[in-house]
Amino acid sequence: QKEVEQDPGPLSVPEGAIVSLNCTYSNSAFQYFMWYRQYSRKGPELLMYTYSSGNKEDGRFTAQVDKSSKYISLFIRDSQPSDSATYLCAMSAGLTGGGNKLTFGTGTQLKVEL
Amino acid sequence: DAGITQSPRHKVTETGTPVTLRCHQTENHRYMYWYRQDPGHGLRLIHYSYGVKDTDKGEVSDGYSVSRSKTEDFLLTLESATSSQTSVYFCAISGTADQPQHFGDGTRLSIL
């Protein structure tokens, strides 16, 4: 079983819909949580970065972390065709050894249709 | 965009040949990371560096070596490439250990 589980999709929604993307994890040591967006043939682009539990909002994006359930979510409001991409969750326990080692989900492919 | 340049962007080579990928950053960040991305596996850490000449192994380090002789450059070497190392390789950087990592646009490597 993988440390981080993420539904690969694809997820198809109409323009303007609210999108919910989720990841579950098994390692209780994780305390940093990230969401990245990746367009085809490009590198992951950081969307949200949170520490510990709680909510964080940035424009149309809201990230939620529930450490008691080992569950994180990303909500996208008023979705646009330009949001069509693969969304990756990532998490880490912080500084271990010499660096901050991220563990990624496999990504959820999202398509927002006109 | 974080100032990260990966080279080459694409490479096709044969099994058994040595391959070196380069990550160059203009941010003067201390931490640099190499990941590979494969279908069904997501991104997995190969090696990372926490300073000049300071490197350590990640989750999938077998068959790879790294070097960092300058802050701005982090090299990933496949000493004798195998077909299982066909992948997309990403470099990431961060200023401190608890800052988020920012990624380059990757190198697509095919080993025939």
CB contact under 8 A, B100 and A45: no
CB contact under 8 A, A99 and B48: yes
Rg (CA), chain B: 13
Q: How many CB atoms lie within 10 A of CB B23?
A: 26
- Residue A2 is classified by DSSP as -
- In terms of phi and psi (left: phi > 0; alpha: psi -120 to 50; beta: otherwise), the region of A97 is left
Q: Is residue B49 over pLDDT 90?
A: yes
Nearest chain B CA: its distance from A59 CA (Å): 19
Nearest chain B CA: its distance from A20 CA (Å): 20
Nearest chain B CA: its distance from A102 CA (Å): 7
SS3 assignment, position A20? strand
Question: For tokens 């160059």, what's the residue?
Answer: B24
Tens digits of residue pLDDT in B74-98? 999 999 999 999 999 999 999 988 8
**C-alpha A104: how far from chain center:** 9
Q: Is residue B37 over pLDDT 80?
A: yes
CB contact under 8 A, B100 and A97: no
Tens digits of residue pLDDT in A54-78? 899 999 999 999 999 999 999 999 9
